[in-house]
Structure 1
Amino acid sequence: MSEKQKIKISIADRVYPLTVDASQEEGLINASKKIDAMIKQFEQNYAVRDKQDVLAMCALQFAAQVEQKQIEKTTIEGPTKTKLERLNNLLTEHLDKQ
């Protein structure tokens, strides 16, 4: 059982106290830093003054990245799986002949 840690995460100038597994602490801290960096990027590049709009755009960008990775994974896995199945069949046929 993982040990629980109390941490404070800062996102968009707000502090969020969390109780998390020790194994999650580093990932959450890194994620909050990425969100803050993305917020600053949106604020610098676009005339957005409302934090909610900036946070919505951050959420959309992160969700789009996850979805794109899933699409790429599916696209790659299909042909790879087929090739591996063919190779496995060839090997099985070869071994059965011996």
Structure 2
Amino acid sequence: MNDKIKINLQMAGSTYPLTILREEEEMVREAAKQVDIRLNAYREHYQNVTPEKIIAMVAYQFALENLKMKNRNDTRPYADKIEELTEVLETYFKGL
């Protein structure tokens, strides 16, 4: 069985033929739906702004959310603190 399928994705008033993994179809369609929701909200709120600028604003909003999610899931500060505490404990127990 082929794991890839061809779909026609409707987004921002256009159709995009895509080949995607079968298990990602729901997520791909939901992503397009989210783009349309944001586009429509910006179009309604900023009626005198060009479509290109609205698309840029939507792209910026998604990029900002993506970066916030990456920072939220950054475990490096915790790992650094654990390493620091481990060194303190090792030094303490060596001195006993």
Same fold (TM over 0.5): yes
Name stretches of at least 5 consecutive residues in structure 1 with no aligned partner: none
- 1:30 maps to a residue whose letter is E
Indicate the SS of the match to 1:16: strand
Q: How many residues get paired?
A: 94
Indicate the SS of the match to 2:77: helix
Matched residues in 2 for 1:49 and 1:86: separation?
52
Higher helix share: 1
Indicate the SS of the match to 1:47: coil
TM-score normalised per structure 2: 0.75
Matched residues in 2 for 1:82 and 1:25: separation?
39
Alpha-carbon deviation of 1:86?
4.1
Alignment-derived partner of residue 61 in structure 2: 61
Distance verdict in 2 for CA 1:49–1:10, change over 3 Å = farther
Name stretches of at least 5 consecutive residues in structure 2 with no aligned partner: none
Identity %, equivalent residues: 28
CA RMSD of aligned residues (A): 2.9
